[in-house]
Structure 1
Amino acid sequence: ARVLHAAGVAIISAGVLIQLTQSLPMRLRGRMMGYFGLPGFVMLGLGPVVSEWLLYRWDFRILFLSLPVLFLTIGGVLYRLPRAETERSEGCRPRLLEALRASYGLLRSVLFFSVIFGFCFSAWHTFIAPAVQPRVGTGGVSAYGLGYGLGAILTRLGLSHRLDHGAGRYLSISTLALYGISLASIPYASTAHALVGLGLVCGMAHGTYYPSLSSIAAERFHPLHGGQGMSLYISASSLGMFLGPPVWGTITDRAGYGAMFVLAGLTLTAATIVFVAAQYRARHIRPWSEDRVLERE
């Protein structure tokens, strides 16, 4: 069930984002990708509260039974969208490996950083419930999720607009250092209010950094293989989230939740500093031009 759920989410997310990025100018693509993720943050804040209410009212099976209803609703909405007229020229379609190779070069550092973020993100996403329950109780997850969603929404609708282009993007991505510090503090929070505050900081950093990183990535998508570049970019953080839980679980078994969260926070903070410094030194990189495309081809 979890594999099918993840497959459905991946297909919808990648397909919609590819369509949207191809219909917008370069300068707006990062911002659009941020807007696309905004409803997810809304449900990140409301989802735990709704889930706890459903569990209290019925039992855990209602959560799984709701998934087919949600996907059928999404399918109905997508079916009613106007269809774009596209040419299906199979003979001109590039081979997958060639397209991925062309997209990977300039995206390499962005992809690696996305893997690291997903890797560290999975620490709280997987283990926050058992980590905070002894101190705060079962409401700790809802408190953190509420703060996270609220922080992401506030910055995604406001501050991120001022920082998703030019040199401001490096400052925006740097806020993930605060994310790392807050991540390391999660198991030491003793009240629900403290978890709301930590979630607020993490959510604000997430809401600020993602449009900026997406803007940098969009500039480096090969113009002839934009779909493959987008797929690589989306898959990178998912790969980190796939690798993270078994690693963090092993560390937790040996050293406890406190050490695991501290290590995850330090890893993200260190990766952020290294990435921003490297990107700032390489800020001369410009979006693909027609001449560069011809040279590469």
Structure 2
Amino acid sequence: MQMSDAATTEGREPLWSRAFVLAWIANFMHSTGFHAYVHWPGWLEQRGAGEVMIGVLVAVMAIAAILARPVVGRVMDTRGRKLMLVVGGLLHVASPALYLLVDTVPEAGWAAVVGVRIVHGLAQAAMFSVLFTVAVDLVPADRRAQGIALFGVSGMIPMAVGGLLGDWVIVDGDYRTLFMVTGACALAGLLLTLPLPETRRGGPSRSFFAALLAPELRPLWFVGATFAMGLAAYFVFLKTYLLEAPQLGTMGMFFSTYAVSAVLLRVFFGWVPERFGLIRVLIPSLLAGAGGLALVALASSHVHLIGAAVLCGIGHGFAFPIISALVVTRAQPDERGSAIALFTAMFDLGVLLGGPSFGVAAHVAGYPATFGLAAGLVSVATLVFVVWDRRLVGAS
């Protein structure tokens, strides 16, 4: 990656500063460690968990992450970003080691798995919140959506890498190598964050929960949570669906296509949202994600699965950075850490609600109906958001 000389020449601040590049690589390593756990439901199924139990255990991690967000956000805004980078990094390094310990102790029960999920959830809450906050601090304000989109590439590529990583290292149902490799990724991410500068400027002027209740942010919390529920359908249950219907393809096939679609969109068209308007681009992005879920529901071959991955990748490719940019724009500058922590908490809330709900749906109605339900949910939520946000803008 090279610094943007053109931006400097034109009098614009460069996106690719040294600190931004370092944060980008650190996020890539941490995200690779996290996203490889799309294979984790297979480990649970191997240990005797059904769809509902898998959904519940996924929700445990989401609950831990949600409960940690107020603390994470407040610490970032009062004590600084560096402290949370170190604490979150250490928790992430510990998580795969604990999975490995549980895997190698035959008598370890579900309580031990729940404990590991809590630690993993705390790590996720810290790292995703703080790294995105640092990135937002570093990018120029007039190119915020583009900067967040490009930084998000460091989290999208690992979706492909993580899916393929599991395909490569999980041999004959042995997940120990997966835990060791993800632990190495977490350690590399921690070491890369150590040279990052402190980017906090000033302290918060109001409480963490003031951002939660701010009227201008409520529609964004809603659409973020419901979009995340849609994501939960394939992040949690695609693995077990493909084990049941192997003719559709593999996790690596889906997530590599998904990630490539999102990355190409962000790299070559990252300027589109700020050129044509954030909300105008957000709506078709959400609907593309819903279309991808619908295609998963209707899939009968690997071609359909690839098409679904393209649509889901396009939807996620723009929706996440656009909603992030809207949150940062509408929040007060001195509560940026709390606002981003809340935004990422909405994604955890979506997983919390979607994991058990779609687990029950899969158990009762089957996987195609479950993905169809997720597609309908995202479509309806998009319509509600459009009406809600337009009324809010009109009133203000």
Superposition TM-score, scaled by structure 1 size: 0.84
Work out the CA distance in 1 between the residues paired with 2:199 and 2:351: 36
Which AA in structure 1 matches 2:376? L
2:22 alignment counterpart: none
Which AA in structure 2 matches 1:192? H
Which AA in structure 2 matches 1:252? A
Q: 1:32 to 1:189 in 2, by over 3 A?
A: same
Q: Map 1:142-157 to 2 at 5 A.
A: 142-157=252-267
1:64 is aligned, of 173, 176, 179, to: 179
Q: 1:166 to 1:216 in 2, by over 3 A?
A: farther
Q: 1:56 to 1:139 in 2, by over 3 A?
A: farther
Work out the CA distance in 1 between the residues paired with 2:320 and 2:274: 9
Which AA in structure 2 matches 1:15? V
Asked whether the 8 Å contact 2:163–2:251 carries over to 1, the reply is: yes
Which AA in structure 2 matches 1:200? V
Gaps of at least 5 residues in structure 2 are 1-115
Which AA in structure 2 matches 1:212? I
2:299 paired with 1:184: no
Q: CA deviation at 1:37?
A: 1.8
1:20 alignment counterpart: 135
2:344 alignment counterpart: 234
Q: 1:141 to 1:102 in 2, by over 3 A?
A: closer
Q: 1:26 to 1:195 in 2, by over 3 A?
A: same
Work out the CA distance in 2 between the residues paired with 1:236 and 1:168: 19
2:215 paired with 1:100: no
Q: Secondary structure at the match of 1:190?
A: coil
Which AA in structure 1 matches 2:151? F
Q: Map 1:69-88 to 2 at 5 A.
A: 69-81=184-196, 83-84=197-198
Which AA in structure 2 matches 1:158? F
Q: CA RMSD in A?
A: 2.6
Number of aligned residue pairs: give it: 280
Q: CA deviation at 1:190?
A: 2.1
Asked whether the 8 Å contact 1:221–1:229 carries over to 2, the reply is: yes
Asked whether the 8 Å contact 1:180–1:268 carries over to 2, the reply is: yes
1:46 alignment counterpart: 161
2:53 alignment counterpart: none
User: 68-77 or 156-165: which moved more?
Assistant: 156-165
1:33 alignment counterpart: 148
Q: 1:284 to 1:17 in 2, by over 3 A?
A: farther
Work out the CA distance in 1 between the residues paired with 2:231 and 2:350: 8
Asked whether the 8 Å contact 1:164–1:211 carries over to 2, the reply is: no
Q: CA deviation at 1:123?
A: 0.8
2:322 paired with 1:212: yes
Which AA in structure 2 matches 1:99? F
Work out the CA distance in 1 between the residues paired with 2:375 and 2:199: 47
Work out the CA distance in 1 between the residues paired with 2:288 and 2:357: 23
CA shift digits 1:138-159 (9 cap, x unpaired):
8432221121111111111122
1:292 alignment counterpart: none
Q: 1:151 to 1:93 in 2, by over 3 A?
A: closer
CA shift digits 1:58-88 (9 cap, x unpaired):
921111122322221111111133x33868x
Q: Map 1:113-132 to 2 at 5 A.
A: 113-132=223-242
Q: 1:138 to 1:64 in 2, by over 3 A?
A: farther
Q: 1:158 to 1:276 in 2, by over 3 A?
A: farther
Gaps of at least 5 residues in structure 1 are 287-297
2:283 paired with 1:169: no
Work out the CA distance in 2 between the residues paired with 1:138 and 1:263: 19
Work out the CA distance in 1 between the residues paired with 2:395 and 2:160: 37
Q: 1:178 to 1:17 in 2, by over 3 A?
A: closer
Superposition TM-score, scaled by structure 2 size: 0.64
Q: Map 1:130-141 to 2 at 5 A.
A: 130-137=240-247, 139-141=249-251
